[in-house]
Amino acid sequence: MPVSTARCPQCPVTPRGDGPALFISDLHLSPALPRTVQVFEDFLRGPAREASILFILGDLFEYWVGDDMLGADMPVSGRDAPAASTTSASATTTEPLGAFARRMTAALAGLAASGVPIAVMRGNRDFLLGERFARAAGAVMLDDPCVFSFLGQALVLSHGDQLCTDDVGYQRFRRVAHSPLGKAFFLALPLRVRMALADRIRRRSAARGAHRMAYADANQHAIHALLDATGERTLVHGHTHRPARHADGRRVRWVLPDWEFDVTPPRGGYLQWDARGLRAVDLAPSTSGLPAADATDTDTDTSDG
């Protein structure tokens, strides 16, 4: 099923000041990944404080099975780390689930309190992020996709999973899971049951990963359909964990990196948009797959002609 382009609203958040707009995604935060969590907290206290707005384009958390996680006290064991991170040096953690969720939310709220607007898009792992989370984090939830206008130009923003249309099985699951009925049914289950189901789905997905690599990337027809429908020329998304800058004529697609600092080599970074254009910033130099930090894209003009 192609990405829905019937309604592609403008981003409802207004940047502040003249700092850059920053874009991150696919951090997959978990208490079992302490180094990744530490880099994220340092990022919020460092580069993000100079931003005019911070965009989190999905999969901030390894999973989020409902905003009632914020009040949970169940421990989360090291087995909840991403199954693909087999080289992780992280030690097993028993930090309660609710405590970790509250700690990450408080870190975001600290950035928001400093005056930096935060815009959060749901991903395939945390599509159940809701308004309770948004209020606690001082964030605004975004539609997927949406258009962000800045410096007289515009970008289309998406998590990216809707663009992977070759994975028919996942798109079928997504339609059911993201439907109002599907979400209501899942959220009616006890929290422990939801956590167990999420972990089972994640592990099954990881086990199938080697056989699905050819289907994991965004479909070119879906990309062009989205840009055609919006009339824009530049797309920023995550999800695929294949960071790159793709140029096709006058159209440009930036793919954000996933963050994983508990493996060797570590990887992670963000996209920065300022008066010089778009540029990738690598938080783990020479390891994330991103273009060099000084790689810029100044042609984000989406006007005709």
Binding residues for substrate: 124-125, 167, 205, 212, 239
Please answer whether residues 27 and 40 qualify as being in contact, where contact means their C-beta atoms are separated by less than 8 angstroms: yes
- CA 220 centroid distance within chain: 20
Q: Which contiguous run of DSSP H or E holds residue 282?
A: strand 277-282
Greatest alpha-carbon span in the chain: 58
Check residue 67 and report its DSSP letter. G
Cβ distance 270 to 22 under 8 Å? yes
Give Cα separations from 164 to 109, 129, 188 (angstroms). 32, 22, 29
Phi/psi region, residue 156 (left: phi>0; alpha: psi -120 to 50; beta: rest), is beta
- Which residue ranges make up the annotated binding site? 26, 28, 59, 124-125, 159, 167, 205, 212, 239, 241
Provide the token pair at 178: 């993201």
**The two three-digit tokens of residue 243, written as one number:** 């960071």
Cβ-in-10-Å burial (0-12, 13-18, 19+) of 7 comes to: exposed
CA distance 11 to 231: 16
In the annotated binding site for Mn(2+), the residues are: 26, 28, 59, 124, 159, 239, 241
